Amino acid sequence: MIDLFDGGELDQLPTIVTGDYNSPAHDSGAYTTLVTDGPTVDSWDTAAEQLTPAWETCPGYAEAVEGGDRIDWVLTTEDITTHQAAINDYRDPSGAFASDHLPMQALLSLP
């Protein structure tokens, strides 16, 4: 496995890390490792504009709660600009969610 953050040549590449971390942003060991003490920033926090409320991202096929745990993140290295971030609560015409998670979306510019 290649460590992108080992101080080598790859350490200089713009990097985007996405996923279902099953850990709350700002309040978990994973977030501390990757963001607070780590090499990435949270695109939700660095976005010039947030297009939606800060909904929880795992409402389990129910209405999302504003201010709930955001366990899905889009992380980037600081050299990437986040213009907009959103939490997608799309439902099909019958009202069904595509997943038990609400996806994070970010409009990014690479250097």
The span from the CA of 72 to the CA of 25, in Å, is 8
Domains of the chain, earliest start first = 15-109 (3.60.10.10)
Q: pTM here? A: 0.87
pLDDT in tens, 75-86: 999 999 999 999
Residue tagged 């038990």 (tokens): 100
Q: How confident is residue 1, by pLDDT bands cut at 50, 70 and 90? A: very low
Residue tagged 């955001």 (tokens): 70
pLDDT in tens, 44-86: 999 999 999 999 999 999 999 999 999 999 999 999 999 999 9
- Do 61 and 100 touch, CB atoms closer than 8 A? yes
Q: What is the DSSP letter of 11?
A: G
- The SS3 of residue 5 is coil
